[in-house]
Structures are given as C-alpha cells and as structure tokens.
C-alpha cells in the first residue's frame, strides 16, 4: 500500500513502512473513503469561514491568558493526532483493524478535530495590527490571494483521491478482483498489483520550494489588513507547528523513499522561501 505525502500535503508517492494485511474492504469501504474526502473539503471551507468572518471580529475587553491557553491546547490536540498517526507502529495497528481504510480513518478523525478546533477557538481581545491605507491594504490582500493561489496550485498537483484514502481502497479492491480471477480475459490475472516507485515532482511550486503549501499557508493567515489577536494566536500557533513538523516530516520521507527524497532535496534546496530558507 502506498500513500501520498499527506503529512505535508506534498506531491509525492511514497512507500511507507506500513504493510497491507491483505484484508479486502467491505462494500461500504469506498463510500466511507469518498465521504472522508467530502468531510475533508467541508473542514477546509469551515476553517475559511471562521478565519475570515468570526476570527476577524475584534473581541472587547482585556487579553485573556486563559483564552490563549485554551486555543493552544486545542491546536495541540489536533497536532498530537497527526503525530500519533504518523508513527508506523500505530498505523500498522490501524491497518490490521480497518485494512485499506487506514488513510481514510486518519482523514475522518483529522477533519473532525480541525472543525472542533475552529468551532471552539476562543476569541482573544485586541488587535495586533490594522492597515487602513488603501494601497497598503491592496498590497497585503494581494499577498493573501497569492497564498491562496499557491495552496490551490500545489494541492491540485496532489491526487486528492489518494490523499483522502479513496485510491488505497480502490487498489486493494482491484487487487482482490485480479487475484480472485474475475477478469478472465486479462493476462495479468493472479498477479498482485504493484505500486508506482517513489516520485517527487519538481513542476510548479514544488520546483521552487519543498513545502509550497506551507508557504502559501503562512501568506494566507498572516497577510491580512486587520490582524485581530484571535487571528494572530491561530496563525502563530499553526505556523509554529508547521515549522517544528518540517524536520520530522523530511526525516520520515528520507527514510521511507529509498533515496528519492534525498535526490529531491538536492534538486530543490529551499524549504519555504527561495534563496532564503
């Protein structure tokens, strides 16, 4: 079983340390995986609404350390789930329980936690910055739109069906279909379907930096004319997590890609910002 680089939403197919148990998904497996994809998109749309509309409202009163602590704890729980699911031991255990729905299980839980994080995010009083000058406002809004474009451009290069776990289910079902000899006219009946070798694309934003979605995320959450403290706590907490996650993520990719990611790192030197970092 292969997975896309879902930790960082990178455009790559890797062969992880998790091995398929050979369990054939139930007839409900594909609808469950497709439902996970829809839920994932819904979670992103809900975040966009909360960040633009709700988090953008200036909260009255003094800054509350308690509210900040709750917000950081909420995002930490979301991040902890991600870290746990990234461990091969845990993923192997989940695979033994749900077979090809291992990735979809992650997507369902992650989407639910992200929605809960956004829904329960506590407002924090105050404004960090407010840009009223028209030209400056247009400039910073253009930077935010550039961030959105980078994220979308990078995401469209990813197989979203693979990301959501749909392709994994389809592969196992197709493999079972072959091994059971149902496609009698196919000369390859009986063979185990093999996955493609590790591939790290360098087209588009992935030729500029190794983590373009992260770069776009930073622009999306920070390039706002009105940075309320509520928004700032979310932007700072999520961005700090991404910065901390990058070295662990790349270490996992180097270990699991049989040298492919090392070659990609030599081709694309910069992590987030060309010629800077």
Q: At residue 53, what are phi and psi to the nearest 5 degrees?
A: -95, -55
The one-digit pLDDT tens for each residue of the chain (277 residues) are 333 443 344 433 333 333 444 454 567 777 888 888 899 999 999 999 999 999 999 999 899 999 999 999 999 999 988 888 777 777 778 777 877 787 888 889 999 999 999 999 999 999 999 999 999 999 999 999 999 999 988 887 776 677 777 777 777 666 655 555 544 444 444 444 445 555 677 778 898 999 999 999 999 999 999 999 999 999 999 999 999 989 988 988 888 788 889 899 999 999 999 989 8
Q: In this structure, is residue 139 part of a structural domain? A: yes
In a domain, 119, yes or no: yes
- 269 falls within a domain: no
The mean pLDDT of the chain is 81
Select from 181, 218, 200 the least CA-distant residue to 259. 200
Print the domain residue range for 232.
3-16+28-260
Count of helix runs (H) and strand runs (E) in the chain: 10, 5
User: Do 36 and 107 meet the contact criterion of CB atoms below 8 Å apart?
Assistant: yes
Give domain status of residue 148, yes or no.
yes
| Residue 271 domain-assigned (yes or no) | no
Asked whether residue 97 is assigned to any structural domain, the reply reads yes
CA distance 131 to 136: 7
In a domain, 37, yes or no: yes
Total count of domains within the chain: 1
Any domain includes 199 = yes
- How far apart CA 212 and CA 150 sit, in angstroms, is 7
Paired strand residues for 130? 226
d(CA 264, CA 254): 10
Question: How far is residue 82's CA from residue 50's CA, in Å, rounded to a whole number?
Answer: 22
Question: Helix 102-120 to helix 166-179 angle, to the nearest 10 degrees?
Answer: 160
Euclidean distance between CA atoms 151 and 46, whole angstroms? 16
């Amino acid at each position: 079983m292969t997975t896309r680089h879902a930790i960082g939403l990178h455009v790559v197919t890797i062969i992880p340390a998790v091995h398929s148990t050979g369990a054939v998904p139930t007839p409900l497996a594909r609808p469950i995986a497709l439902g996970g994809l829809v839920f994932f998109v819904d979670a992103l749309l809900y975040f966009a609404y909360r960040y633009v509309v709700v988090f953008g409202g200036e909260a009255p009163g003094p800054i509350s350390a308690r509210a900040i602590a709750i917000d950081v704890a909420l995002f930490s729980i979301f991040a902890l789930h991600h870290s746990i699911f990234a461990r091969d031991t845990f993923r192997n255990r989940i695979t033994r329980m749900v077979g090809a729905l291992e990735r979809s299980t992650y997507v369902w839980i992650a989407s639910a936690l992200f929605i809960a994080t956004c829904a329960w995010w506590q407002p924090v009083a105050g404004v960090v910055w407010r840009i009223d000058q028209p030209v400056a406002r247009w400039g910073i809004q253009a930077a935010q739109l550039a961030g959105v474009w980078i994220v979308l451009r990078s995401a469209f290069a990813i197989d979203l069906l693979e990301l959501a776990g749909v392709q994994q289910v389809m592969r196992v079902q197709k493999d079972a279909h072959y091994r059971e000899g149902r496609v009698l006219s196919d000369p390859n009946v009986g063979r185990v379907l093999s996955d493609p070798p590790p591939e790290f694309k360098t087209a588009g934003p992935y030729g500029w930096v190794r983590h373009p979605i992260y770069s776009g995320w930073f622009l999306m959450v920070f390039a706002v004319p009105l940075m309320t403290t509520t928004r700032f706590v979310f932007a700072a907490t999520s961005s700090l997590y991404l910065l901390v996650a990058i070295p662990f993520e790349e270490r996992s990719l180097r270990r699991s890609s049989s040298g492919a990611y090392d070659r990609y790192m030599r081709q694309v030197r910069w992590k987030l910002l060309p010629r800077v970092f």
